[in-house]
Amino acid sequence: MLLKLLILDRDGVINYDSDAYIKSVEEWIPLPGSIEAIAQLSKAGWTVAIATNQSGIARGYYDLATLDAMHARLRELVAEQGGEVGLIVYCPHGPDEGCDCRKPKPGMLKTIAQHYNVALTNVWFVGDSLGDLEAAKAVDSQPVLVKTGKGEKTQAKTLPVGTLIFDDLAAIAAELIHN
Ligand SMILES: O=P(O)(O)OC[C@@H](O)[C@H]1O[C@@H](OP(=O)(O)O)[C@@H](O)[C@@H](O)[C@@H]1O
Ligand SMILES: [Mg+2]
Ligand SMILES: [Zn+2]
């Protein structure tokens, strides 16, 4: 049976983003409807994985324990709604470290695909930044832009051909669950 895999960016898609980075669990605040959307997708048989840049680690704004606490909180909130979150992959590196995982490079998407032993072709990758969409395009996944977070600013840029646009994660869940 083909795995129904959906990959999400984190900041600006699941939780509010900030130009000052999300530096603590207290600053990690879910966007309206995002927790419910993930839980509904999970209960409808979707595997929801996450690929997130976290250069704030390299910049020293917060540590790995804090990052893990944010993700534990996310998992706890989704579990309270009867759903579950799949693999969470993050890039802790800074923009100048030349790693393979920082979006727009597709390294994290490849890691997720290998973990679930699936191809990335046409798998929806939902993000609010151009780098998210470019990462998707690089591995023939489906770039999906949400207007939350930095999404409306991103929408004004030149997007990869075929990018789908939705208001928010709740609208994406409705589309995937009911179609
Ligand atoms: O949207 P995801 O990938 O989940 O995470 C984005 C964050 O890591 C941060 O990425 C930073 O970009 P730089 O890493 O400084 O270029 C800035 O855009 C911050 O506002 C943002 O919070
Ligand atoms: Mg983002
Ligand atoms: Zn990296």
Q: What is the ipTM of this complex?
A: 0.97
> Looking up tokens 């998407």, which residue turns up?
109
- pLDDT at residue number 81: 98
Within 8 A by CB and 6+ apart from 51, the residues are 7, 8, 9, 89, 90, 103, 108, 109, 111, 112, 125, 135
The verdict on whether 140 is a catalytic residue reads no
Ligand 1 mutation target, pool 21, 109, 130, most atoms within 8 A of CB: 21
Mean pLDDT of all residues in 63-92: 98
The helix or strand, by DSSP H or E, that contains position 152, with its residue range, turns out to be: helix 151-155
What burial letters (b/e) apply to 93-111, b meaning 16+ CB within 10 Å? Answer: beeeeeeebbbbbbbbbbe
- pLDDT at residue number 179: 83
9 lines ligand 1 (CB under 6 A): yes
- Say yes or no to pLDDT of 1 above 80: no
- pLDDT at residue number 66: 98
Mean pLDDT of all residues in 127-138: 98
Cα Dmax for the chain: 43
135 pLDDT tier (thresholds 50, 70, 90): very high
17 lines ligand 1 (CB under 6 A): yes
- Say yes or no to pLDDT of 73 above 90: yes
11 lines ligand 1 (CB under 6 A): yes
| Whole-angstrom Cα Rg for the chain | 15
How high is the mean pLDDT of the chain?
A: 98
Summarised one tens digit per residue, pLDDT across range 3-45 is: 999 999 999 999 999 999 999 999 999 999 999 999 999 999 9
